[in-house]
Structure 1
Amino acid sequence: MIFSDGTLSAVSFALLLGITCLCDLSKGSPDFSGYLSKVLRNYTEQACDGDFLSVRCPPRTTITVQSAFYGRRGASDPQQCPHTYQALLSPYSTREDDRYCSVSTALQKMLDECQDRRSCQVLVNSRVFGTDQCPGSSKYLIVWYKCRPKCQSSVALQVLTSRCQGKKSCLVRASTRDFGDPCYAGTRKYLSVIYTC
């Protein structure tokens, strides 16, 4: 509860959301529009069997995996990877690469490896993704992702707890001096607190 004199009453905190950022484009730095365009776009990365797939987001953002596909979409797929050496030796390689196959664990694997990180690298290989639905066929991994801003103070809970825990009321000013500046230059910030009495 916030009293009319601007103080905050709190006996204990149930949850602190921390400092979250609101973007103010009119007061941002010249680099902010470039940063914002990178954050708002959709990314796609692809790698063939045996290669590493690298996913990376700009500073102060983290990966949000939207979808993933590991397998083969058939001969008509324009994103086909070249036949593997093993597949070239197989008399059925052409027929095998014409069929559709996918692994259902691709999305979960990419979430486990990359979600909420700034960058990650995954070996594209059927052993990594589980059961091989089309042995002998060359397969590939495609990942669709976004870069989500990561802009929260890591000390907000500590600061509020030390100033307000066990008191009938407390006054806390939301400032970068007290909470640091985890956001991109020119980003307006606010403090949000959830508490119980």
Structure 2
Amino acid sequence: TLPALLISFLQLICAHICTHAVPCTLQAGVLNILSANYGRTDSTTCSAGRYSEQITKTDCYGTNTLSEVTNRCDGKSSCVVPATNSVFSDPCYGTYKYLSIKYSCVVHNVSVTCEDGYSTLDCGNDVIQIINANYGRTDSTTCSHGLPDTILADTNCYASGTLSIVATKCNGKSSCTVQASNTTFKDPCFRTSKYLTVSHHCLPHPVRKYLILQRGINHPFSDFLFPIHSIHFKKSSALQSRSTIFGKNHLPRFVVFFNYD
């Protein structure tokens, strides 16, 4: 199964609301942003009480919307996004805008490995996709048994390269092992006892040939040579939810998303 994309949601946030929470329930997992736009694409959404000249322009797109929302929300259980020009800049002056976000909730597995231990991820016959990872310390209780308080006090400890390192070692494989150590990751907080936290989910094996990861992480599935316009898997009833997949020299930010019945 691919629980990550069983449910997708669309939120429309009018500019006067200013901020809005984008949630995934604890049971549903973490956010996976599919698309986002700050602007206006129709004349009816968020139109109450507006002058006609404020809602007539319907080809208004904020070019940085997807990257901004992704940075704020991807991999989190919830996030708050302000629908304002100060966040996205103004894509169409004089037009009343709104923020639309399409997202899915990714059911994920979480592993925690204390410093100098080994984290092993295993998806059996499926393949691994890393959602989030951090080597450091974000609370004083995890991996704390028998340790002095002095090396547990720093709970704002994040190794900036953790996600890319773990993704490179694990994405697309059925299993992988990563050591939670300063030799694998740079030491983000000297004299603090650290641990490795990894969130991942397992993708069905048939998706392997067609999956391209976002944000330019090096990945063995990224060698597309030509456009593909539709993909069907009869047994899993899978259908891509975006219309076109482009070659690796023309990659959009989000390339392939599958819906499974």
TM-score (norm 2): 0.41
Deviation string 1:70-109 (CA, Å, 9 cap, x unpaired) is: 111142xx4x10357xxx5xxxx41341112111111011
How far apart, in 1, do the equivalents of 2:48 and 2:178 lie? 56
Aligned to 1:94: 52
Select which of 120, 141, 150 maps to 2:79. Answer: 120
Aligned to 2:32: 64
How far apart, in 1, do the equivalents of 2:23 and 2:11 lie? 10
Q: For the Cα contact (< 8 Å) 1:47–1:124, is it kept in 2?
A: yes
Asked if residue 193 in structure 1 is aligned to residue 174 in structure 2, the reply is: no
Aligned to 2:236: none
How far apart, in 1, do the equivalents of 2:110 and 2:42 lie? 44
Shift of 1:46: 1.3
How far apart, in 2, do the equivalents of 1:194 and 1:133 lie? 44
Q: How does 1:102-113 map to 2 (within 5 A)?
A: 102-113=61-72
Structure 1 runs, 4 residues or longer, greater than 6 Å off:
none
Deviation string 1:105-133 (CA, Å, 9 cap, x unpaired) is: 11011001101111001111112111x12
Q: For the Cα contact (< 8 Å) 1:55–1:120, is it kept in 2?
A: yes
Structure 1 residue ranges without an equivalent (≥5): 1-21, 24-35, 162-189
Q: For the Cα contact (< 8 Å) 2:118–2:178, is it kept in 1?
A: no
Relative to structure 1, the CA distance from residue 73 to residue 119 in structure 2 (aligned partners, 3 Å threshold; closer, same or farther) is same
Q: Quote the sequence identity (%).
A: 22
Shift of 1:139: 0.9
Relative to structure 1, the CA distance from residue 65 to residue 98 in structure 2 (aligned partners, 3 Å threshold; closer, same or farther) is same
RMSD: 3.1
Larger Cα Rg: Structure 1 or Structure 2? 1
Figure out how many residues of one structure are paired with residues of the other and give that number: 123
Q: How does 1:136-175 map to 2 (within 5 A)?
A: 136-155=94-113, 158-160=116-118
* 3-state SS of 1:104 partner: coil
What is the one-letter code of the residue matched to 1:64?
Answer: N
Structure 2 residue ranges without an equivalent (≥5): 120-173, 180-261
Relative to structure 1, the CA distance from residue 153 to residue 143 in structure 2 (aligned partners, 3 Å threshold; closer, same or farther) is same
Q: For the Cα contact (< 8 Å) 2:37–2:66, is it kept in 1?
A: yes
Q: For the Cα contact (< 8 Å) 1:66–1:144, is it kept in 2?
A: yes
* 3-state SS of 1:120 partner: strand
Select which of 25, 30, 45 maps to 2:11. Answer: 45
Deviation string 1:1-27 (CA, Å, 9 cap, x unpaired) is: xxxxxxxxxxxxxxxxxxxxx99xxxx
How far apart, in 1, do the equivalents of 2:92 and 2:74 lie? 27
How far apart, in 2, do the equivalents of 1:121 and 1:65 lie? 13
Q: For the Cα contact (< 8 Å) 1:45–1:54, is it kept in 2?
A: no
Deviation string 1:147-186 (CA, Å, 9 cap, x unpaired) is: 112213111774338xxxxxxxxxxxxxxxxxxxxxxxxx
What is the one-letter code of the residue matched to 1:125?
Answer: T
TM-score (norm 1): 0.53
Structure (1/2) with the larger helix percentage: 1
* 3-state SS of 1:153 partner: strand
Relative to structure 1, the CA distance from residue 105 to residue 83 in structure 2 (aligned partners, 3 Å threshold; closer, same or farther) is farther
Shift of 1:39: 6.5
Asked if residue 82 in structure 1 is aligned to residue 47 in structure 2, the reply is: yes
